Chain A
Amino acid sequence: MTPTRQVYFNITGVWLMYVFFALTLLVFGYGVYRRWRLWQIGRPVVRLDRLGERLRLLFKQAPGHEKLLKRYSGTGFAHLLIFWGFVFLFLGTVVVFIHEDLHIHIMQGALYLYFESLALNISGALCIAGVTVALIQRSIRRAPRLKPDKPDDTIILVSILVILVTGFIIQGLRIHLTHDPWAAWSPVGRAVGMVFAHFLSEPALRELHRATWWFHLIVVFSFIGWIPYSKLLHILTAPASILTQDLGPRGALPVVDIEKEDAPLGVSRLQDFTWKDLLDLDACTECGRCEVNCPAFLTDKPLSPKWLILNLRESLHAESGNGRGANADPKISPAELAQSPLVGAVLKEETLWSCTSCGACVEQCPVAVEHVSKIVGMRRSLVMERAEFPDDLQNMVRSLEARGHPYPGVSASRIDWMKGLAVIQLADQPGAEFEVLLWVGCAGALNQRSQSVTRAVAELFTKAGVKFAVLGREERCTGDPARRIGHEFLFQTLAQQNISTLDRYKVRKIVTSCPHCFNTIKNEYPQFGGQYEVVHHSEFLEELVRQGRLKPSATGSAKVTFHDPCYLGRYNQVYDAPRAVLDSVPGVERTEPDWNRRNSLCCGGGGGFSFMEEKQGTRMNQNRAKQLLDTGANTIAVGCPFCMIMLEDGTKTVAPDAQVRVRDIAEVLNEATE
């Protein structure tokens, strides 16, 4: 006898199921259409090219829940169980459909036993475990990141539980009533059947089976119909969002065509976003992972990346004030919300000016929501269309416009740092031969503390016999601070000036000790035709050590912890090189802060904050300094001039008496190298 089972055992009037199902599909389809139409108001953007690569990414990220498991792995694992339960049960249903409706009898033999019975039993049971954990998390542990915690969230979990439990009851009763010879392959179902059989008579079991079958069916269909009207929509939008994520370098912001006459500069209304931005709003699962790594949120700034997305979503749906967040102005009615410009009505200006553009939110988000480009998009409108932005940043912009550097009032010139060192300036020696161009950066040249880092780098290059040159007075700000605050016009002007200078001197390889310069030249200058090989000094120094051109020797002992700069780590995935440089120094004992690498916490210096007073909440630099001090290290190593300034200040304030030094990796290496 071939192992299989009767599909509609004990059920009459199956046609009714098809009627219900058609209705469900209508409701579902209409719901999806309504959302789809909303995404369509966005601007076009190409996100369906390189489909192979996209599918590979989707299959790399979704099935293993890569990002969900990296933080909050408990709940992440629970979701993994639910996800796979859904996948298996869906496939199981497809098998039934093929078998019964297409009359291709596949639900038999090994497939029936191993997959349709055993695998579905196990995954169903695991799925129940997953849902239970999630319910506990939501109703008992009540993690703040899961707010607003609407009744919907619990109803969803309970309905999944109901569907699974009734499924097992139906199976168990059928097994018992039909004396199923293959019962052993469905252990959970069989056990449930045995329990019921213990208490009820056979006719009662039959009645119960029929009733449960229809009940199960109605719950399942309602659930499917509800998907596009609830958070369940993420079953569709999450994979869609992951599939259509930005494949370009993470550190490159999208280009604005400044010359276009009538195009809006930046985002002031929902339709100025791209369709992917709007899809993101519906993809967000409210998991709160973005929020817990956000330096602004952690220090009580009026910004939560999660609420930013949810507030925008709300205005997209212009629904009732359901779960309106901290960022929104409660005085504005939902109807007005749909009509009004985003900034001011949906989001406060301070919300946008609280972001350091550290990218932690994007890194953490399991469904590829792109927060930073949205924030910068809205800043662009404020800065370029309305010319309304914080005074400190206005001063920075004036300085960039007039002098090409963001430090109003500094008295240093770009070449002061090199006093006493033999450095080739290309303006003086345009024909000089050089291996690499040292991009000094505005901080490296003009900030007193950073000047000694630049000197250390130059000294190391000399010790290693590297032929290097600098642009000197001809160097301009890369434009990173301008671009991050939304002044795309100024950014493009500076970028073009620098690119033409670099090309004039036929520069091919650039080394810089500033991750912001590094990121901009490497990832953003190609948008304007500037193609160079760009490396961070950590990578370059690591290479020199490996080649034996630098031989650090012991200088006593130091307990060192490294702080990952956002624009080196998260934006460019350079995590190992700076650590390797430190490890190459004898006597260095390295410890890791709890939050490191991709989970590193921003020092608070990015996105314009180095040029702006932090007016609200507690200080971001102190927050990070505490984490670093907790490692017990006596040296905090950095690889970024802004981290240096922020953390020096932070450690001094948090622990004024601690004998802790903040030093660049180049300084540590230089001191140990003859």
Chain B
Amino acid sequence: MHLVVCIKQILDPEIPPSDFRLDSAGRGPAEGIAPQVISIFDENALEVALQVREAAGEGRITAISIGAESAVDALRKALSMRVDDAYLIRQADFPALDTFGTARILAAALGKLPPADLLLCGRESGDWYGGQVPAFLAAQLDWPYTALVAAIRKTGSEWNLRRQSDDGWETIACSAPAVVSVTNDAQNLPRIPKVRDNMLAFRKTITVWTAADLGLTSESGCGPNTRLKTERFYIPTVSRQCQMISGDSVVQRAEELVEKLAGLRVI
């Protein structure tokens, strides 16, 4: 059994608002002050993969990430959770990366790994919340795709994917290979690594792949051909306005209040 989990390192979503800065181009957040973490749903995906392996008693798990050098920390964390192998794809080789490009690069990376049974992603990234990569990946690979899975079980050659639906649970049976996006659930809270595994993780090697290693060019990330563009990225200004309600009687004042609130569409 071979499970591949795609993880992304993102700026800590809990960054205090007063620490949040834009990058010089005004196209995204500036890095530096706030810590970087594994995107939360990717951690759930890692946990699900680990649980599948534990239940099966065998299997390998590979974690891959496209990122800056700092993303080594995210992969190291995955290793300390007891993932077997970790690969970092150098994001610097792919300027202006978009979700199509990301899927294309990951698909190419997958081709260099031993055949995978399942490819797991978080349901969306914790910074942009696009939620597109897993679907694009499935399209690239021409594999079936199931979204928002909370737990996975293997029965014989079949994979049972458990999803929460509006009125209960839904279990989908599928055969490998397949792409699965994982959502958070009480049962897939990411584990805290044991300290010994933490230290062992520091002795493992993390392979770095360049665009050339994957047989791709800098255009593969989309570059100038991107169909997705950030027009403007800004911090909204919050302002407070105070209006006094006049009205002579209580009834009048109440009516006026209702009118105003209705006008603001809050009631």
Asked if B198 and A489 sit within 8 Å, CB to CB, the answer is yes
Encoded as 1 (CB less than 8 Å from any B CB) or 0, chain A from 380 to 412 comes to 000111110101001001110011100011111
The number of A-B residue pairs with CB atoms under 8 Å apart is: 54
Give the 7 A-B residue pairs with the shortest CB-CB distance, closest first: A413-B16, A384-B195, A489-B195, A387-B194, A413-B19, A413-B18, A387-B192
A258 within 8 A of B: yes
A384: which B residues are within 8 A, CB to CB?
A: 194-196
B19: which A residues are within 8 A, CB to CB?
A: 413, 473
B12: which A residues are within 8 A, CB to CB?
A: 402-403
A487: which B residues are within 8 A, CB to CB?
A: 195
Encoded as 1 (CB less than 8 Å from any A CB) or 0, chain B from 5 to 27 comes to 00000001010111100000000
From known contacts A402-B35, A402-B37, infer whether A410 and B16 are also in contact, taking CB-CB under 8 Å: yes
B191 within 8 A of A: yes
Asked if B196 and A265 sit within 8 Å, CB to CB, the answer is yes
> For the complex, would chain B's binding face be called helix, strand, loop or mixed by DSSP majority?
loop
From known contacts A413-B18, A416-B16, infer whether A403 and B194 are also in contact, taking CB-CB under 8 Å: no
Residue of B35, B192, B199 near A397 (CB, 8 A) is: B192
Report how far A185 CA is from B261 CA in the complex, Å: 101
Q: How near does chain A come to B38, taking the closest CB pair, in angstroms?
A: 9
B193 within 8 A of A: yes
B235 within 8 A of A: no
CB-based nearest A residue for B17: A411
Most chain A beta-carbon contacts within 10 A, residue among B12, B33, B194, B199? B194
Q: Which residues of A contact B (CB under 8 A)?
A: 258-259, 265, 383-387, 389, 391, 394, 397-399, 402-404, 408-413, 415-416, 473, 487-489
CB-based nearest B residue for A384: B195
B198: which A residues are within 8 A, CB to CB?
A: 489
Residue of A383, A387, A416 near B18 (CB, 8 A) is: A416
Report how far A391 CA is from B186 CA in the complex, Å: 11
Q: How many residues of B contact A (CB 8 A)?
A: 18
Report how far A468 CA is from B72 CA in the complex, Å: 38
Asked if A403 and B195 sit within 8 Å, CB to CB, the answer is no
A394: which B residues are within 8 A, CB to CB?
A: 192
A404: which B residues are within 8 A, CB to CB?
A: 35
Asked if A403 and B196 sit within 8 Å, CB to CB, the answer is no
Report how far A265 CA is from B193 CA in the complex, Å: 14
Since A410-B16, A411-B14, A412-B18 are in contact, a sample of 18 more A-B pairs with Cβ atoms closer than 8 Å, ordered by chain A residue number, is A258-B195, A258-B199, A259-B199, A265-B196, A383-B195, A384-B195, A386-B194, A387-B192, A389-B192, A391-B189, A404-B35, A408-B14, A411-B16, A411-B17, A412-B16, A413-B19, A487-B195, A489-B195
Report how far A410 CA is from B192 CA in the complex, Å: 21
Asked if B191 and A387 sit within 8 Å, CB to CB, the answer is yes
10 A-B contacts, Cβ less than 8 Å apart? A258-B195, A265-B196, A387-B193, A387-B194, A387-B195, A402-B14, A413-B18, A473-B33, A488-B195, A489-B198
Q: How near does chain B come to A14, taking the closest CB pair, in angstroms?
A: 66
CB-based nearest A residue for B195: A384
CB-based nearest A residue for B81: A387
Asked if B196 and A385 sit within 8 Å, CB to CB, the answer is yes
Report how far A434 CA is from B12 CA in the complex, Å: 33
Report how far A411 CA is from B15 CA in the complex, Å: 7
CB-based nearest B residue for A403: B35
Asked if B16 and A398 sit within 8 Å, CB to CB, the answer is no
Report how far A446 CA is from B158 CA in the complex, Å: 50
Report how far A387 CA is from B189 CA in the complex, Å: 14
B192: which A residues are within 8 A, CB to CB?
A: 387, 389, 394, 397-398
Report how far A487 CA is from B195 CA in the complex, Å: 9
B189: which A residues are within 8 A, CB to CB?
A: 391
B17: which A residues are within 8 A, CB to CB?
A: 411
Encoded as 1 (CB less than 8 Å from any A CB) or 0, chain B from 179 to 191 comes to 0000000000101
Q: How near does chain B come to A478, taking the closest CB pair, in angstroms?
A: 18
Q: How near does chain A come to B39, taking the closest CB pair, in angstroms?
A: 12
Q: How near does chain A come to B126, taking the closest CB pair, in angstroms?
A: 12
Encoded as 1 (CB less than 8 Å from any A CB) or 0, chain B from 85 to 105 comes to 000000000000000000000
A473: which B residues are within 8 A, CB to CB?
A: 19, 33
A386: which B residues are within 8 A, CB to CB?
A: 194
Report how far A416 CA is from B16 CA in the complex, Å: 10
CB-based nearest A residue for B190: A398
Most chain A beta-carbon contacts within 10 A, residue among B189, B196, B199? B196
Q: How near does chain A come to B143, taking the closest CB pair, in angstroms?
A: 33
A259: which B residues are within 8 A, CB to CB?
A: 199
Asked if A403 and B14 sit within 8 Å, CB to CB, the answer is yes
